[in-house]
Structure 1
């Protein structure tokens, strides 16, 4: 009687062991397989990622950070390019600093230029000694030299004009070939295209002057009605 009871008691124990151990073993095998699969996938993904752009270490004292920055440089030296395509086409130009997307993008052999801001001095090819601070500042400048533009769109359309100073958003915005102009304030000398030797200080001072030369406008809207006249001094709103 006792012997039969013992057999009845042991029988289910054997069945439980036969079911549990394979189940546990199978669980761990599946888990290990999943871990290995994830590891292999991560390794493959990492291998497909592009390597980071080097920080400095370029020949001739050049430094570049960003996709396409200084991508075409050959013998140019001492250039610093930070941002997508900054100084991207520069080949022989030296001592340039470009910070911002496409800043000084088209520069090939221009030297001593500083561009800070989105597309600042973007079209410059061989102009020298220009300083552009602000989005689109001196955007269209190609060969003009020794210009200073501070503010979004300042001297935006300048092409070959030289020795101009524009401080304020859209100051001297339309100037193309005019030289030795100084515009201080938003929109100052904003419509000047070829006029030279003009000085305007104040919001939209001499804003409508296009071809006039040797004019001075001081104050809010000073010389507002002046378009082509020359050798004028305008003080205060008109």
Structure 2
């Protein structure tokens, strides 16, 4: 894949950890691929959440024999147990794709599906939660293909809030998500923690390229679909 001209970005988490956004480049207008940076580690994503320093209450501290009651645990949305994804279906735009399971290259960039000329399936980033688990499950797909028939994620922009996305899983279950929103991001301002950071419930991210520049043959943007597990 050709490297884009917008790599080497860095983002700072609340903990002060620098995360390298080693962008892989979207390639040419023929073989555009997602260019979504390196997702933060689980510990980095967690540290990005704001914290509140403990403060002493006004007045005398309680006696040792009368400890303060523990604060009730915050309720969280129900999620599914871990199970790797098999297929992705988006009936509204006629998508049904087997899912590859890809990770990171040696240089830290995200692996992307390799197109043999007839279109490539989408891929699940295997460093993210499985679809239905708590947190954002991340999937990548081409916007176009060498055969000029359009990539698997060519029509993500047509998805509207409430549209259903189905992910079949190896345990035989199907995780059903509903689209919350779609966002367009320049590659030089990709919001790594917003896309990959921890979430209270189970969420899904679909990522592809956008903003093709015929002058350079590169894609300048990413388009991201945010979806949540259907209750």
TM-score band w.r.t. shorter chain: under 0.3
Q: Could you tell me the TM-score, scaled by structure 1's length?
A: 0.19
Larger radius of gyration: 1
Per chain length, whose mean CA-contact separation is higher, i.e. which structure has more relative contact order (CA < 8 Å, sep 6+)? 2
Higher helix proportion: 1
Q: Provide the TM-score with structure 2 as the length reference.
A: 0.20
Higher strand share: 2
